[in-house]
Structure 1
């Protein structure tokens, strides 16, 4: 049984072999999916020889993969488990490449993922940080058409994009004053057209 204080991520033997092969051929591997599992009902300890999770409960496309800002040999990847998926406890996480190879495996503290039919539903973001030694062997691009953003991320980003001043009257439009976010003002569209016309006739 896993020590409750011993949570970690481990590259698998198969994953390290894939990376070594890619480096030897001057190629890259593509990380495409992450999976979660319940460990068969008990806490688990990751092992390098693993080729699959103990008991996988859900799998989906990676939402984000990037080189860690503090360590060039670390890869950070996360996945969003959507609101309508659940009814299980997450105890293990797996990172897979485009060939279906388990590249890395991790354990985590028990985290129950509810489902809407149980009266509660939430998007759940699971993240893995794995030391692969040479991150240059990993293709960091993902297919945006297959990713799922969390509600929190959407609200945060959309909130940044909608910093518009209140007010405004009929026949007015928003005009940017500077490049700063939200730095705009309402102006009368007729005065703008009049100014443009005077400029065209050389009166400005």
Structure 2
């Protein structure tokens, strides 16, 4: 089959690993990608890329919905990374071996300080045909996230909101039914007699039955006062459903209290979720440079002492005195914490400039 101008092929290492994996019944973990500014002609003999400008973990891996023989790999470059040209891509496994190599249409990745910024999403489709042949096809252009993808996410979010709304309504109806049942019990008639206002020579001695429940125009303001329907209707929105509030974008509770709590994080200090509830945790840092020229380092995020995210430094040539420097890109990591889960950050670079990561989670009140 004739190749197009831009294509991706397996290296000899990749071919050997796929054949071995199929023979043993084990899979291959396609973990990361690297981008190069060098114009290349892909070759099976290649073992590494030169002139690397960016590397990161593969953003997502999924089986194509319309063809079960296709595996889609998404390689994302954020908007705050750039100032370089992209001409080639390499796919690596968890052992760090180059399994696939491909050339790309010449694409310049700008950053905002140059007057323009954009995100890049490189999509690679892997077609599994038989035990001895794996063909990698590359879309003919570097693309942004498709409108269909964005619409699918919006539909999924709306479905979650609808489900939570139905759950909220069902729970409120359950509470209201229980309260209505209590109002109809005979013991309520006995208790309400203590609070009936008497006029002239009336008295309320003895047990009384009400053919119609007493009403009041006054709304309850204290816990030990009777509640009328107006009070319930006014206050029912005070029933807090944290998932619903966070999904639909509220930043405060009905009473004005902030929905979120934020605190600074120190290096290698363990923090604990003491809210007593399951809550989303968001850890953020801004981009910062390492003090040592050309040095490397990483920012690691641990949940319950297990590494869940590693942000490695990126080398940037031709800055400062022209000899280059390294920096750790900005971080925005979200994780769902269970009660009493612990979390911490570890900065593996003794020469890094001082930074202050922050942690944000729901304000459970």
Query: TM bucket by the smaller chain?
Result: 0.5 to 0.7
How far apart, CA to CA, are the structure 1 residues paired with 2:47 and 2:28?
A: 17
5 Å matches for 1:140-179? Answer: 157=153, 161=157, 175-176=165-166
Tell me, in whole angstroms, the C-alpha distance in 2 between the residues paired with 1:111 and 1:192: 59
Structure 2 length as normaliser, TM-score?
0.38
Q: Secondary structure at the match of 2:29?
A: strand
Within a 5 Å distance, the mapping from 1:75-86 to structure 2 comes to 75-86=71-82
Matches within 5 A, 1:81-160: 81-133=77-129, 157=153
Structure 2 unmatched ranges of 5 or more: 132-144, 186-365
Residue 30 of structure 2 aligns to a residue whose secondary structure is strand
Label 1:175 to 1:7 Cα distance change in 2 as closer, same or farther (>3 A). closer
Return closer, same or farther for 1:47/1:176 CA change in 2, 3 Å cut-off: same
After TM superposition, where is structure 1 displaced by more than 4 Å over at least 4 residues in a row?
152-156, 162-165, 199-203
Q: Structure 1 unaligned runs (5+)? A: 136-149, 166-173, 178-183
Change (3 A) 1:132 1:29: same
More RCO (CA 8 Å, sep 6+):
1
Query: Does structure 2 conserve the Cα–Cα contact (< 8 Å) formed by 1:16 and 1:132?
Result: no
1:160-182, CA deviations, whole angstroms, 9 ceiling, x for partnerless residues? 526879xxxxxxxx9429xxxxx
Query: Does residue 35 of structure 1 match 2:34?
Result: yes
* Pairing partner for 2:178 from 196, 199, 204: 196
Go from structure 1 to structure 2 and tell me whether the alpha carbon gap of 1:160 and 1:129 turns closer, same or farther (over 3 Å shift): closer
**Aligned partners of 1:12 and 1:105 also within 8 Å:** yes
- Deviations along 1:28-81, whole A, 9 cap, x unmatched? 211110111111xxx322111111124221100111112334444433201111
Could you say what the CA RMSD is over the residues aligned between the two structures, in angstroms? 3.6
TM-score, structure 1 as length reference = 0.65
Measured in 2, the distance between the counterparts of 1:132 and 1:49 equals: 21
CA distance in 1, matches of 2:128, 2:44: 13
Aligned to 2:283: none
3-state DSSP class of the match of 1:15? helix
Residue 196 of structure 1 deviates from its aligned partner by 3.3
Q: CA deviation at 1:120?
A: 2.1
* Partner residue in 2 for 1:139: none
> 1:176 aligns to what SS in structure 2?
helix
* 2: CA distance, partners of 1:76 / 1:130: 6
